[in-house]
Amino acid sequence: MAGCEKIDGFGTWPGWAALGVAVATMGVIVAIIACNRSDTVSQTAKGDGNIQISVLGDRNKIIIQQIAKETSQPIEVLQAILTSMGEKELDEAWPERIESILRAKASEYLQLNERLRQLGDSDPEVAKLKEQAAQALQGGQFQEADGYLERAEQLDIQATEKQEAAARKRRASAANTLAERAGIAKLQPNPVSYRRAAEFFGKAANLVADFDTVQARSYQFERASMLYELGKEFGQSVAWEETVALYRQILSSTSRKTEPLDWAATQNNLGTVLQILGDLQGDEAQLQESVTAYREALKEYTHERAPRDWAETQNSLGDVLGTLGSLRNDEKQLQESVAAYREALEERTRERAPRDWATTQNNLGLALYTLGSLRNDETQLQAAVAAYREALKEYTRERAPLNWATTQNNLGNVLQTFGSRRGDEAQLQESVTAYRDVLKEFTRERAPLNWAMTQNNIGTVLGTLGARRGDEAQLQESMTAFRAALEVFAESGASHDVQMTKDNLSRAEALLEQLKKRTQ
């Protein structure tokens, strides 16, 4: 059962959550990473009423060709999946996200098609026998009449048992049909379809709950997965609240003693959704509940019994402990976060799971950076730099542009802090370089708020360098960066960020004015 995985967001300024967290299927929460979209997708209607998808750019052409070849799937299916996302979503999606969606939905389609071919049907009849008893009774043959009625009673009981068995079979069949309808809805990545899928799985679970608890729980897990995706993909936090309630309901009917791994999977998933809600709402109580749920899961997800699940849950535990430690300035929880990440890295090696290894290295870097900043401990800050640079060995721009940009930003943050505290201009300049790399992926058009925050970070470092060096040109660059950030923050209505950037700009203007007076 996978834990919630994420790349933590920008550490210098609040408000930027870097990467989302995970999909829950049968208790598994899987990280989904948004991808860089550098190609253009357009739609044109043909005369025959079909939709023609024109994907420009070699990368996307290769993606579609590979998926079509590997799955032997008609191109019309891929087209229907993409068009159901909507034009706006396609315009904003990175190629990696398009590939991820197409591969997942192509696999689900093939499985759905195979299952639909295997569906059967039955409707048994019940026969009745009483006429001979009536005739015997009319002839005064009471014993014979009683014998006939006894046989009729037995037949009625047998028929009833058959009817009940047939009813259970039909209810199971109806539940299966609902699940297949949910499968069709899952193929269409939009909020209405995802909500329908969740409802279908809920109805399926109710149909079989009184005679097949295992299958009912399976449907409930699927329902929770769709609610989770509804919240994650479309920003519907109420769906996450429903998911928490559903996982608590599942736990109430799942025995740790007899079903330890299902119990652990549910605890893990509960922890994931509580963590998301706690982050979103700034609710420390929910974050603490998330810690409790993860630690409960680890009672059954031991390193020996379930090494991958153990490592993924350790990574998730590190995430939420790091968040709590940052909110509370709690060194103990930050140390526990670092320890959890290092535990995860025992299993998540670069050779065995390179992407997971890079994710945990990045998250370890953030925990070390926060702890080092709190303690003013250069050793921890140096360790944070090392962890980020390890992550970048796998998170290259070509392979994972979004993760690369996020990790470059995190590296820029710690280099800025380190350089400022040591008065090291070389590290400050490295910080500027890292932030400028971020802007190669987080453009103003693609990710305006992230772009603005990065501009603000660049302005901060350039202002520090300009003041140290007495360099008017760098102070001018600093002011230009602040003004660019301020424009986007104002357009987005981000009042806190607007005020912060105005203050930064005022300081840079004052420094420049002082410098000019000294040089006159």
Q: How far apart are CA 157 and CA 8, in angstroms?
A: 63
| Residue-level pLDDT at 135 | 55
Average pLDDT over residues 417-433: 92
- For residue 64, is pLDDT > 80? no
Q: How far apart are CA 258 and CA 262, in angstroms?
A: 9
Q: How far apart are CA 101 and CA 64, in angstroms?
A: 11
In the Cβ-directed half-sphere of 348, how many Cα atoms lie within 13 Å?
29
- For residue 47, is pLDDT > 70? no
- For residue 490, is pLDDT > 80? yes
| Cα-based distances in Å from 418 to 414, 425, 470 | 6, 10, 21
| Cα-based distances in Å from 30 to 89, 98, 281, 400 | 21, 17, 22, 17
| pLDDT bucket at 213, cuts 50 / 70 / 90 | very high
Burial class (CB in 10 A: 0-12, 13-18, 19+), 339: middle
Mean pLDDT, the chain, as a whole number? 82
Q: Is the CB of residue 215 less than 8 Å from the CB of residue 175? A: yes
The answer to which of 60-74, 201-215, 415-429 has the lowest mean pLDDT is: 60-74
3-class DSSP assignment, residue 113: helix
Q: How far apart are CA 321 and CA 334, in angstroms?
A: 6
The answer to which of 91-95, 224-228, 374-378, 472-476 has the lowest mean pLDDT is: 91-95
| Cα-based distances in Å from 472 to 400, 480, 503, 512, 517 | 37, 12, 19, 6, 12
| Residue-level pLDDT at 115 | 58
- For residue 332, is pLDDT > 50? yes
Bridge pairing between strands 28-30 and 40-45? unpaired
Single out the residue of 19, 61, 69 nearest to residue 39, CA to CA. 61
Give, to the nearest 10 degrees, the angle between helix 75-85 and helix 58-71: 130
Q: How far apart are CA 320 and CA 326, in angstroms?
A: 10
| The residue to which tokens 């990440």 are assigned | 341
Average pLDDT over residues 404-430: 93
CA dihedral 140, 146, 148, 149 (to 10 degrees): 120
Kindly report, residue by residue over 115-130, the tens digit of the pLDDT. 545 544 443 332 344 5
Looking at the chain, how many residues does it have? 520
Cα–Cα–Cα angle for 9, 41, 451, rounded to 5 degrees: 25
The answer to which of 67-81, 166-180, 394-408, 449-463 has the lowest mean pLDDT is: 67-81
Cα–Cα–Cα angle for 136, 140, 143, rounded to 5 degrees: 65
Max Cα–Cα distance, the chain, nearest Å: 134
Bridge pairing between strands 40-45 and 51-56? antiparallel
Q: Tokens representing 124?
A: 């048994």
Q: Tokens representing 503?
A: 């203050």
Q: How far apart are CA 20 and CA 2, in angstroms?
A: 15
- For residue 9, is pLDDT > 70? no
Q: Is the CB of residue 250 less than 8 Å from the CB of residue 276? A: no
H or E element that contains 25:
strand 23-25
Average pLDDT over residues 177-204: 96
- For residue 11, is pLDDT > 60? no
- For residue 5, is pLDDT > 50? no
Average pLDDT over residues 170-191: 95
Residues 6+ apart with CB under 8 A from 166: 122, 123, 124
Kindly report, residue by residue over 443-454, the tens digit of the pLDDT. 999 889 999 999
| Residue-level pLDDT at 396 | 95
Q: How far apart are CA 66 and CA 31, in angstroms?
A: 23
- Centroid of chain to Cα 243: 13
Q: Is the CB of residue 12 less than 8 Å from the CB of residue 416? A: yes
Q: Tokens representing 35?
A: 């991808």
Q: How far apart are CA 243 and CA 225, in angstroms?
A: 8
Single out the residue of 221, 309, 351 nearest to residue 273, CA to CA. 221
| Residue-level pLDDT at 113 | 60
Single out the residue of 434, 45, 161, 333 nearest to residue 54, CA to CA. 45
Q: How far apart are CA 270 and CA 243, in angstroms?
A: 8
| pLDDT bucket at 334, cuts 50 / 70 / 90 | very high
Q: How far apart are CA 143 and CA 139, in angstroms?
A: 11
Single out the residue of 125, 10, 94 nearest to residue 410, CA to CA. 10
Kindly report, residue by residue over 360-395, the tens digit of the pLDDT. 999 999 999 999 999 999 999 999 999 999 999 999
Single out the residue of 1, 6, 22 nearest to residue 229, CA to CA. 22
| pLDDT bucket at 161, cuts 50 / 70 / 90 | confident
Q: How far apart are CA 464 and CA 478, in angstroms?
A: 9
Single out the residue of 505, 478, 494 nearest to residue 16, CA to CA. 494
Residue, of 284 and 49, whose pLDDT is higher: 284
The type of residue at 197 is: A
- Centroid of chain to Cα 102: 17
Kindly report, residue by residue over 273-289, the tens digit of the pLDDT. 999 999 988 899 999 99
Single out the residue of 71, 73, 2 nearest to residue 32, CA to CA. 2
The answer to which of 91-95, 227-231, 240-244, 515-519 has the lowest mean pLDDT is: 91-95
